[in-house]
Amino acid sequence: MKRTPLVVANWKMHGQKAWIESFIQSFIGEFCGSRQEQQCEVVLCPPHVFLAQVQALVQSSVVKLGAQNLHSENKGPFTGEVSAPMLQEFGCTHVVVGHSERRTLFGETDSDVAAKFNAACQAGLVPILCVGENAQERQAEVTEVVVQRQLDAVLKQHGIAAFAKAVIAYEPVWAIGTGNTATPAQAQDVHRFIRKYLAGFSRDIAEKVKILYGGSVKADNAIMLAGESDIDGALVGGASMNVKDFLAICAGFSGRQI
DSSP string, 173-214: GGGTTTS----HHHHHHHHHHHHHHHHTT-HHHHHHSEEEE-
What percent of the chain shows pLDDT beyond 90? 87
Q: Is 171 part of the annotated catalytic residue set?
A: yes
Find the mean pLDDT for residues 246-256. 88
Report the pLDDT value the prediction gives residue 38, as an integer from 0 to 100. 66
The model's pLDDT over 160-169, given as tens digits with 9 standing for 90+, comes to 999 999 999 9
Report the pLDDT value the prediction gives residue 258, as an integer from 0 to 100. 45
The set of residues, in sequence order, having a beta carbon less than 8 Å from that of 97 and lying 6+ positions away, is: 69, 70, 113, 116, 117, 120, 127, 128, 129, 130
Q: Is 228 part of the annotated catalytic residue set?
A: no
Q: Which of 257, 236, 238 is nearest to 43 (CA)?
A: 236
Mean pLDDT rounded to a whole number for the chain = 94
Whether 50 shows a pLDDT value over 80: the answer reads yes
Whether 25 shows a pLDDT value over 60: the answer reads yes
Residue 182 has phi, psi (to 5 degrees) of -60, 140
Find the mean pLDDT for residues 98-108. 96
Residue predicted with more confidence, 126 or 135: 126
Alpha carbon separation from 72 to 123, 131, 162 (Å, rounded): 11, 18, 16
| Global pTM value | 0.95
The model's pLDDT over 110-121, given as tens digits with 9 standing for 90+, comes to 999 999 999 999
Report the pLDDT value the prediction gives residue 215, as an integer from 0 to 100. 86
Q: Which of 99, 101, 191, 228 is catalytic?
A: 99
Task: With H, G, I as helix, E, B as strand and everything else as coil, classify residue 67.
Answer: strand
Q: Which of 71, 171, 191, 228 is catalytic?
A: 171
